[in-house]
Amino acid sequence: MSQDETQTKTERQKQIIAEARRNRELREKTYRERALKLFPHVCGKCGREFSGKRLKELTVHHRDHDHDNNPPDGSNWELLCIYCHDNEHSRYVDAEWYGDEVPNGGQEPASSNKPFAGLADLLKKKE
Ligand SMILES: [Zn+2]
Ligand SMILES: [Zn+2]
């Protein structure tokens, strides 16, 4: 086993990861574009309309929360603006619509785990 071989292995692993990520991005882009072609550019919850630059605020929600389930007729998709989409997912730890870019670096959402939130309230009450 030479050092070269180890390096090649790592390189190959990196390549595989990069490729998987690219495929995923590509797939997400594809279903978003397909969904945008299928549906009017309106949020399914608040009914706001999106066009031009703001269109990127309109995201594809998967009704069954399975982003691998992408039927061509769009029956598993719903167009939601980022705000309504956030609400829809607020009970889940779900990176579906962010891909790899999970806000706050993939840690627990601040809302679900605030060890000191109760403490601050207690202190306030004492004052
Ligand atoms: Zn909305
Ligand atoms: Zn969603």
pLDDT of residue 13 exceeding 60, the answer is yes
pLDDT at position 6: 80
Cα(95) to ligand 1 centroid in Å equals: 18
pLDDT at position 106: 46
Which ligand sits closest to the CA of 63? 2
Cα(83) to ligand 1 centroid in Å equals: 6
Cα(46) to ligand 1 centroid in Å equals: 4
Q: Which own/partner contact pairs does 55-61 have at CB distance under 8 Å and 24+ positions apart? A: 57/81, 57/82, 58/82, 59/32, 59/85, 59/97, 60/31, 60/32, 60/35, 60/97, 61/85, 61/88, 61/96, 61/97
Cα(17) to ligand 2 centroid in Å equals: 24
| Model pLDDT for residues 52-111, shown as the tens digit of each residue | 999 999 999 999 989 889 999 999 999 999 999 999 888 654 445 455 444 544 444 545
pLDDT of residue 127 exceeding 50, the answer is yes
pTM equals 0.56
pLDDT at position 51: 96
pLDDT at position 81: 97
pLDDT at position 36: 95
Cα(120) to ligand 2 centroid in Å equals: 33
Q: Which residue has the higher pLDDT, 14 or 127?
A: 14
pLDDT at position 27: 78
Cα(80) to ligand 1 centroid in Å equals: 5
